[in-house]
């Protein structure tokens, strides 16, 4: 097959159409492992960086020039749209709520504003990126946090090992938990559709904490919001990628969410995942981010193994199994992307 441009390659892979080789990008590809990011970050706080259109565009583009990534994810955080709902959030370095959400009155007070008004800079960043990327034919990815993961932080008040307060709420005050998830689902649908309108070629939903539930709990507390989002987001304009961290035990449920792509962490082999999902969805992943500390030859072998294992899937996007870590050697990231690009040459 003749060489596709990176946008066409990504969109075709999402939809399970033939490609010359798998596309490649990395979750958290803009961040502290890059000296160029650290230089920008020294001048501003994380929140300022997310709201500063010029700087956010600059760090979003860094992975293209610095490591050769083939997609751009706009620089932001899953908590960016939350202050617009009336919740005060700070970063230290993860999200911290001034007042954790624990009562019905707090849930009822949550607003679902038009994101174009509450976070206009997000769409300005995306429109600018689309213009910057047009000549390079690089796709732009939008994203949002999934309702379950957002709720976990909102109720707990910050990151946590087990999110015990949030999990107790599921059992002690299920109606309150359901109301919170419903509000977040409505916000997420509007937020993703506004990103698609601003030019995102594809959008990713990050469910970092959904994997801590049993399969039955996942079907009750997670899958309904994924399905509602997949049904209401304009997937004809932009495919939906669903990332469920630690989700090998709920792979079938993720494949039946209505998303176009399921993004997996490294705890499952792509060959097994491909067998289990069949032709329902494409796959994304799934190198352990720590493996980027290996020598370049080892990384090249790991990339070839991932591509081979994922070959029976209807489509595959090469990526990590979770976000790139701050300690990651830049050379390891370059080796990962170079190996992915080399897959076409040997095919
Ligand atoms: O100090 C700094 O420079 C801030 C560190 C940082 C960065 C670089 C945070 C705070 N967020 C981000 C960017 C970010 N976060 C992106 C940017 C785009 C990219 O390059 O991929 C994205 C997509 C996210 C998404 C995100 N934030 C998730 C979901 C994905 C995942 O990694 O699991 C989650 C759970 C968060 C919360 C968050 N924000 C920041 C931190 C340190 C955390 C984790 C908090 C914790 O639970 O410990």
Q: What is the pLDDT of residues 292-319, one digit of tens each?
A: 999 999 999 999 999 999 999 999 999 9
Is 235 an active-site residue? no
Query: Going by CA atoms, what residue is nearest to atom 11 of ligand 1?
Result: 77
pLDDT at 131 over 70: yes
Q: Which of 58, 64, 93 to mutate to test the pocket of ligand 1 (most atoms within 8 A of CB)?
A: 93
Say how many C-beta atoms besides its own lie within 10 A of residue 277's C-beta: 21
C-alpha 96, offset from chain centre? 20
CA 176 – CA 181 distance, rounded (Å): 9
How high is the pLDDT of residue 83?
A: 98
Q: Which of 25, 75, 80, 94 to mutate to test the pocket of ligand 1 (most atoms within 8 A of CB)?
A: 94
Pick from 7-21, 216-230, 245-259, 332-346: least confident: 332-346
> With b meaning 16 or more CB within 10 Å and e meaning fewer, what string describes 64-74?
bebbebbbbbb
Residue list, ligand 1 pocket, CB within 6 Å: 27-32, 41, 46, 73, 75-78, 91, 93-95, 143, 149, 159, 206, 208, 245, 323
Candidate list 33, 51, 77, 309, residue with the active-site label:
77
Residue 221 confidence class, pLDDT cut points 50, 70, 90:
very high
Q: Which two tokens stand for residue 119?
A: 């976070």
CA 317 – CA 10 distance, rounded (Å): 7
CA 136 – CA 146 distance, rounded (Å): 30
pLDDT at 346 over 60: no
State what percent of residues in the chain have pLDDT above 70. 99
Query: Going by CA atoms, what residue is nearest to atom 41 of ligand 1?
Result: 94
More confident residue, 345 or 200: 200
Query: Strands across the sheet with 202-207, in order?
Result: 72-73, 140-145, 202-207, 240-244, 261-263, 282-287, 316-320
Is 153 an active-site residue? yes
> How confident is the prediction for the chain on average, in pLDDT?
97
| Domain residue ranges of the chain, discontinuous segments joined by + | 6-346
Is 32 an active-site residue? yes
State the distance from the centre of ligand 1 to the C-alpha of 79, rounded, in angstroms. 9
In this prediction, residues 17-29 reach a mean pLDDT of 98
How high is the pLDDT of residue 345?
A: 67
> With b meaning 16 or more CB within 10 Å and e meaning fewer, what string describes 185-219?
bbbbbbbbbbbbbbbbbbbbbbbbbbbbbeeeebe
State the distance from the centre of ligand 1 to the C-alpha of 346, rounded, in angstroms. 35
* pTM for this prediction: 0.97
Residue 267 confidence class, pLDDT cut points 50, 70, 90:
very high
Q: What is the pLDDT of residues 41-86, one digit of tens each?
A: 999 999 999 999 999 999 999 999 999 999 999 999 999 999 999 9
Is 41 an active-site residue? yes
Is 178 an active-site residue? no
For strand 240-244 and strand 261-263, is the pairing parallel, antiparallel, or unpaired? Answer: parallel
How high is the pLDDT of residue 344?
A: 76
State the distance from the centre of ligand 1 to the C-alpha of 323, rounded, in angstroms. 8
Helix count and strand count (H, E) for the chain: 16, 9
Candidate list 15, 20, 41, 267, residue with the active-site label:
41
More confident residue, 1 or 103: 103
How high is the pLDDT of residue 328?
A: 98
* Phi and psi based region of residue 27 (left: phi greater than 0; alpha: psi -120 to 50; beta: remaining): beta
How high is the pLDDT of residue 347?
A: 45
Residue 69: closest CA among 77, 60, 78: 60
CA 316 – CA 16 distance, rounded (Å): 8
CATH 3.20.20.210 fits 6-346, yes or no: yes
């Amino acid at each position: 097959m003749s060489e596709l441009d990176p946008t066409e390659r990504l969109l075709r892979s999402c939809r399970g159409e033939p490609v010359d080789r798998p596309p490649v990008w990395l979750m958290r590809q803009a961040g502290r492992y890059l000296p160029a990011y650290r230089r920008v970050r020294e001048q501003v706080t994380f929140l300022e960086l997310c709201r500063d259109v010029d700087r956010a565009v600059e760090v979003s583009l860094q992975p293209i020039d610095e490591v050769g990534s083939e997609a751009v994810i706009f620089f932001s955080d899953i908590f960016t749209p939350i202050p617009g709902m009336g919740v005060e959030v700070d970063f230290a370095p993860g999200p911290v709520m001034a007042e954790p959400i624990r009562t019905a009155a707090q849930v009822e007070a949550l607003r679902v504003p038009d994101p174009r008004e509450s976070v206009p800079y997000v769409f300005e960043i995306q429109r600018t990126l689309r213009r910057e990327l047009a000549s390079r034919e690089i796709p732009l990815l939008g994203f949002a946090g999934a309702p379950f993961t957002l709720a976990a932080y909102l109720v707990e008040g910050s990151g946590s090992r087990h999110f015990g307060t949030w999990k107790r709420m599921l059992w002690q005050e299920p109606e309150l938990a359901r109301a919170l998830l419903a509000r977040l689902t409505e916000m997420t649908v509007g937020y993703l559709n506004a990103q698609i309108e601003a030019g995102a070629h594809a959008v990713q939903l990050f469910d970092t904490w959904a994997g801590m539930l049993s399969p039955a709990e996942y079907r009750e507390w997670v899958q309904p919001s994924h399905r509602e989002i997949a049904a209401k987001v304009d997937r004809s304009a932009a495919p939906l990628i669903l990332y469920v961290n630690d989700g090998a035990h709920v792979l079938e449920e993720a494949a039946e969410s209505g998303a176009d792509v399921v993004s997996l962490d490294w705890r499952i082999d792509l060959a097994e995942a491909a067998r289990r999902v069949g032709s329902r969805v494409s796959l994304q992943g799934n190198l352990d981010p720590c493996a980027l500390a290996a020598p370049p030859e080892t990384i090249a072998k790991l990339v070839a193994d991932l591509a081979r294992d994922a070959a029976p899937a209807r489509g595959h996007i090469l990526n990590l199994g979770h976000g790139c870590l701050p300690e990651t050697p830049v050379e390891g990231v370059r080796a990962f992307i170079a190996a992915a690009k080399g897959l076409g040459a040997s095919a």
